[in-house]
Amino acid sequence: MELKQMRQFLAVAEERNFTRAAERLHMAQPPLTRQIRALEDELGTALFLRMPRGAELTEAGAALLEEAPNLLALAQRARERTQLAGQGRSGRLDVGVFGSGVLEVIPRLLARFHALRPGVRIVLHSQTKDEQIDALRERRIAVGFNRLVPPASDLVIETVLRESVVVALPRRHNLAKRKRLTLADLAGEPIILYLSQPLPGMAQRVAAAFAHEGVPLHVEQEVEGVLTAMALVAGGFGLCLAAAASTSLRLPGVVYRPLDSDALRDLELACLYRRGDASPVLAAFLDVVHEFAQQQDGPSLRRPRRGRALATGGR
């Protein structure tokens, strides 16, 4: 049975007349009659009793009449859902996120996308950098956000935002009296670092900066997440160097001071996704990301050409 035949059958069943049904369908009566007979032949039963003044449904026709509207409605729903998916207005977007990235920028990007495409289900996956890269290649996520992402031929890596680096320290610490800090100010201070991962990240970046400036680094604790790090700072275990987004945590007893260091001036938040991915949902989300990046300062935050990385960065 074809959808066209169902619409024709429904018209005849509702009009109880082939001539009126043909007029309603904007077609001649003979082709309509042939289509109904073809449908009856396919089903192996008569659907109408031809009367001098019209047509009456047979018992089989009455049974089909109960199902025809549902079939047409289901077909229309499938059509609409297919069109929405093709336009990136429905479906699912799996996003890889990490630590401090979920504190500021990423929620804003997701909220903006959700407002524009409420029919798309957003699923977040908390993953390390190497886990995100593996998940992208295995198509378990569509896009990820991280820092210091190494170049890869099969991935596009775009800078979304450059964040300044701050020092989190206990409110009663002597250094809290200063408006800005340098790495030299942190010599000998207990430092809380993010746990080293298989791929270079924040821990290696901090260690390299201390070494570059000739400042001894005393690592007190290594932790996995920004919340744990700031909780330890609040408890007086040490100081922590972090992205400015961390200041949104506002934990009691923790203050933040800008860091002056050429070796650790800022951190790039990067968006990464599979090169050549033609997903309409991903394309719609990247439009939101690119619009946000274009609003940031600096020429390197402009939208890249299709298929080329804007810049490498992130954690």
Using one digit for the tens of pLDDT, what is the confidence trace for 122-140? Answer: 999 999 889 999 999 999 9
In a domain, 299, yes or no: no
Number of domains in the chain: 2
- Name the DSSP letter for residue 298: S
| Residue 156 within any structural domain of the chain | no
Residue 99 lies in a domain: no
Q: Which helix (H) or strand (E) holds 92?
A: strand 91-97
Last residue of a domain, one of 32, 61, 86: 86
| pTM as predicted | 0.68
On whether residue 146 sits in a domain, the answer given is no
Residue 257's beta-bridge partner residues? 167
CB atoms within 10 A of CB 199: 17
Residue 57's CATH number:
1.10.10.10
Which of 243, 266, 289 is the C-terminal boundary of a domain? 266
Report if residue 103 sits inside a domain: no
Kindly state the tokens that stand for 40. Answer: 């009856």
What pLDDT shows up at residue 306?
Answer: 35
Q: Using the 8-state DSSP alphabet, how is residue 200 labeled?
A: -
- Report the 10 Å Cβ neighbour count for 46: 16
The per-residue pLDDT for range 305-314, each reduced to its tens digit, is 333 333 333 3
Non-local (6+) Cβ contacts of 56 within 8 A are: 16, 48, 49
Domain boundary among 86, 120, 140: 86
Q: Tell me which H or E stretch contains 164.
A: strand 155-170
Task: Please state the φ and ψ torsions of residue 46, each to the nearest 5 degrees.
Answer: -75, 140
Average pLDDT, the chain: 87
* 38-78 pLDDT, tens digit each: 999 999 999 999 888 889 999 999 999 999 988 888 888 77
- Residue 40 located in a structural domain: yes
Q: Work out whether strand 240-243 and strand 155-170 pair parallel, antiparallel, or are unpaired.
A: antiparallel
Residue 37 belongs to what domain range? 3-86
User: The CATH number of the domain where 247 resides is what?
Assistant: 3.40.190.10
Is 288 part of a structural domain of the chain?
A: no
